[in-house]
Amino acid sequence: MKELKIYSSEYIMNTLMKPIEYCVDGLISQGLFILAGAPKVGKSWLALDMCLSIAKGEKVLGKATSCGHAVYLSLEDSLIRLQNRLYELTDDPSDNLHFAIMAESISNGLPEQIEYCRKRFDDLKIVFIDTLQMVRNESESSYGSDYKELSVLKALADKLGIAIVLVHHTRKCSDSDPFNMISGSTGLSGCVDGSMVLIESKRGSRKAKLHCVGRDIENQEINVVFENSRWKVSDDIKNVKPDYFSFAVHDFMVTQKTFKGSATQLAEKLSALLYKEVFSNRVKKDLIQHAYDLQDYGVAFESKRSNGQRIIILNYDPKSDSSDGRNL
């Protein structure tokens, strides 16, 4: 019997872990996703726009993107159709955007083809597969078969640290829960890290709602309208309050160099810098969750017990500071 590997809550809560990275802020993270919609609703236009935006590092649906390579497997299109669509979206080709119109199936070489893309492009961020049906092997659709087939791509996305998005169809029948409209069994939704379902308010109206749900994203409904070959947000885009925690810690450490004390003591120092209250019961959590940002700013974090109390230790290394010691 293989021993079960167990992690203590102490380890989970105090180990510095690499944060989740997003290709599209708050919408698509590393992992496996489904983008579903009715035939000809315009989901391929949205997929192409997302790829192009990521390749150029531009916003899509009002959300910031992480710039890098994008690969679009447009398996139901010809090169001339792709050319025409690209010219509708941009006048300038991007070195970060690549296409294929043929690919192997999931069980017959597709994972190896995607791995090759990852080796070829070091900063590969996302692969769109349009459509899922073109790379499937299973003819039957049961929870077990759907989950098993997609779990191969799920494991691949996690292994390579990229996002894989499967463009898929919805059923003809409507449902109060839009995610129940994804064609196939619930094994598809159960396996993926997130689902996006594009539903027009009225067929041909070019007004729709993008329903989004996922493990690492907030449930959201985005009202969109199709204009000039793009889906655009028709709602007022909410302003997200900027997160200045890493900046405050950095600026404090530039002058302090080292810190050793309680969470309460550190919270008082940071509150003075930010001109707002920093709560002592959140300081360690924020340090853990911003650890990678802080390392980039030359700040190393450690937490340990001393005489029954939790002590926070911070050290600043100017040579590792990407800001060259400037206040942020």
Confidence of residue 306 (pLDDT cuts 50, 70, 90): confident
- Once rounded to an integer, what is the mean pLDDT over residues 246-265? 88
Q: Are strands 194-200 and 207-214 parallel, antiparallel or unpaired?
A: antiparallel
The predicted pLDDT at position 139 comes to 67
* Cβ-contact 59, 65 below 8 angstroms: yes
Alpha-helical (H) ranges within 135-203 are 143-160, 186-191
How many distinct structural domains can be found in the chain?
2
Inside any domain, residue 328: no
Q: Which of 175, 198, 233 is the last residue of a domain?
A: 233
- Once rounded to an integer, what is the mean pLDDT over residues 47-72? 96
Tell me the C-alpha distance between 94 and 74, whole Å: 17
286, 174: one domain: no
Say if residue 239's pLDDT is above 70. Answer: no
Confidence of residue 37 (pLDDT cuts 50, 70, 90): very high
Inside any domain, residue 184: yes
Inside any domain, residue 5: no
R_g of the chain computed on alpha carbons: 23
- Once rounded to an integer, what is the mean pLDDT over residues 140-163? 92
73, 122: one domain: yes
Q: Which of 233, 262, 288 is the last residue of a domain?
A: 233
Nearest to 127 by CA among 146, 93, 100, 92: 100
307, 218: one domain: no
Say if residue 245's pLDDT is above 70. Answer: yes
Inside any domain, residue 1: no
Inside any domain, residue 4: no
Inside any domain, residue 20: yes
66, 186: one domain: yes
Confidence of residue 140 (pLDDT cuts 50, 70, 90): confident
179, 227: one domain: yes
Confidence of residue 240 (pLDDT cuts 50, 70, 90): low
Confidence of residue 187 (pLDDT cuts 50, 70, 90): confident
Confidence of residue 164 (pLDDT cuts 50, 70, 90): very high
Confidence of residue 203 (pLDDT cuts 50, 70, 90): confident
249, 156: one domain: no
Tell me the C-alpha distance between 164 and 20, whole Å: 15
Inside any domain, residue 327: no
111, 81: one domain: yes
250, 109: one domain: no
Tell me the C-alpha distance between 52 and 95, whole Å: 10
Say if residue 312's pLDDT is above 70. Answer: yes
143, 18: one domain: yes
Confidence of residue 238 (pLDDT cuts 50, 70, 90): low
pLDDT per residue as tens digits for the range 97-130: 999 999 999 999 999 999 999 999 999 999 999 9
Q: Write out the residue range of the structural domain in which residue 58 sits.
A: 10-233
210, 257: one domain: no
Q: Which of 165, 199, 233 is the last residue of a domain?
A: 233
CATH of the domain at 38: 3.40.50.300
173, 205: one domain: yes
89, 143: one domain: yes
Lowest mean pLDDT across 27-36, 211-220, 243-252: 243-252
- Once rounded to an integer, what is the mean pLDDT over residues 317-327? 83
Q: Are strands 22-24 and 97-100 parallel, antiparallel or unpaired?
A: unpaired
DSSP per-residue string spanning 302-325: EEEEETTEEEEEEEEEEEEETTTT
- As a whole number, the mean pLDDT across the chain is 90
Confidence of residue 51 (pLDDT cuts 50, 70, 90): very high
Inside any domain, residue 3: no
CATH of the domain at 295: 1.10.10
Looking at the chain, the whole-number percentage of residues with pLDDT higher than 90 is 56
